[in-house]
Amino acid sequence: MTGKEHGGVKPPAGYRDPKSAGLASRSRATLAAAALVVAGCGSGAALSQEAIDRARTQGVAPELMYVVDLPGFELAEQSVGGVGEDGFGAVYTGPGGEQVELRVDRTPYECVGTCERDDGGGWYTVHEGRQAYVAVRKDHYVKLVCPVGQVDRAVLKRAAEAARPVVGDGTTPAPPPSPVRRGDLPQNGDGAPIQRTGPGG
């Protein structure tokens, strides 16, 4: 800031132009917002209630519904559905059309192709050009599948091991909704609601 800009008076030490300070503040706010957007990418957002209901109507066990965090990938909710008898399946998509399949099913897990067991008890497999990492839990397993080389093996492993249950804690099935009790239904007869009348009715 020059003396001419202040009518020939030199600004005191530590002086900050309010306009410059405002611009700097807005710039910091913009950068912070951008950082939040980037941090949210591939965050494995929870399933919507609509997707959960759709999966349950297809016979998926609530305790087998999971979501994962895959950097750069987003859950395609329209892909959510049943796998096998009561297992769960979904697809995560990348910006270039890449796909990673999520499968959750009952144990035991049967490995197919080239199989490697790791120290954590999981499996890394390669079969017909596709790779998978399988995290084995108490009575079910979480499996992520994609073409070989599309996602790093370590990334698949971290995502599968950190998979989060959508309903409850992943060990106890969610109870069915309780029926609503009505006080105007008779215990005997045809079950028609009781029509209460007031004085003179």
Name the pTM for this structure: 0.63
Which residue ranges make up each domain of the chain?
49-165
Tell me the C-alpha distance between 144 and 71, whole Å. Answer: 14
For residue 169, the model assigns a pLDDT of: 45
> Quick one: fold of 49-165?
Phosphorylase Kinase; domain 1 (3.30.200)
| Gap between the Cα atoms of 6 and 3, Å rounded | 5
Per-residue model confidence (pLDDT) at position 196: 58
The sheet carrying 123-127 orders its strands as 74-83, 87-93, 99-106, 140-147, 130-136, 123-127, 114-117
d(CA 109, CA 191): 50
Residue type, 198: G
Decide: 52 and 174 in contact? Cβ < 8 Å. no
Nearest to 97 by CA among 126, 78, 72: 72
* Confidence at residue 105, expressed as pLDDT on a 0 to 100 scale: 97
- Digit-by-digit pLDDT tens for the chain (201 residues) are 444 444 444 555 555 554 444 434 443 333 332 222 223 334 445 789 999 999 999 999 999 999 999 999 999 999 999 999 999 999 999 999 999 999 999 999 999 999 999 888 899 999 999 999 999 999 999 999 999 999 999 999 999 999 999 975 444 344 444 444 445 555 565 555 555 555 555
